[in-house]
Amino acid sequence: MPILAISALAFCRPVMTQERNAWQFGSLPANSSVSKPDDQQVYEILLKMLDRWNAHDIEGYMEVYLKSPELLVVIGSEQFDGWQQLHDSYVKGYPGAAAMGFIQPKRIQVRLVKPDLALALTWWTIAFPSSNQ
């Protein structure tokens, strides 16, 4: 069963390279093929997450995660075991739009570890309009 564990959000498209084990980031061509490479699919999932976060839609944000107790997500140094634990943490930690802020993406690095496992490292900043943070 493939499980995708992803960290935070960012904005940089993976470059399609011949070496599938290399870290990939850069720009994608404007017109992508119908059958998208796995790393591009991971990138698009991260874009959806970014969009839903900036719309302050936690439920929409959580749609990209495997809704399973088997899900493992590591954010920073914190580990979340299962979709429900991650969901509850977001709902409790971000009770409204002001708490969520807006993510300013910097970069994503996507690496396909195995055909059914990708690792995405992300860099971003977050702004809170009602604060000087």
Sorted by where each begins, the domain ranges of the chain are 5-127
Please report the pLDDT score of residue 85 as a whole number.
97
| The predicted structure's pLDDT at residue 3 | 42
Q: Residue 69 has what pLDDT? A: 96
Predicted TM-score of the model (pTM): 0.66
CA max distance for the chain = 46
Could you count the other beta carbons within 10 Å of the beta carbon of residue 42?
A: 22
Rounded to 10 degrees, what is the CA torsion of 98, 99, 100, 104? Answer: 80
What's the pLDDT at 35?
Answer: 63
Q: Report d(CA 16, CA 101) in Å as an integer.
A: 32
CATH of the domain spanning 5-127: 3.10.450
Q: Report yes or no: 1 and 67 within 8 Å, Cβ to Cβ.
A: no
Provide the residue type at 28 as one letter.
Answer: L
Per-residue confidence (pLDDT) for residue 132, from 0 to 100: 66
Q: What is the pLDDT along the chain (133 residues), one digit of tens a residue?
A: 434 444 443 333 333 334 444 444 443 344 444 467 888 888 889 989 999 999 999 999 999 999 999 999 998 899 999 999 999 999 999 988 888 999 988 988 888 898 888 888 888 899 888 776 5
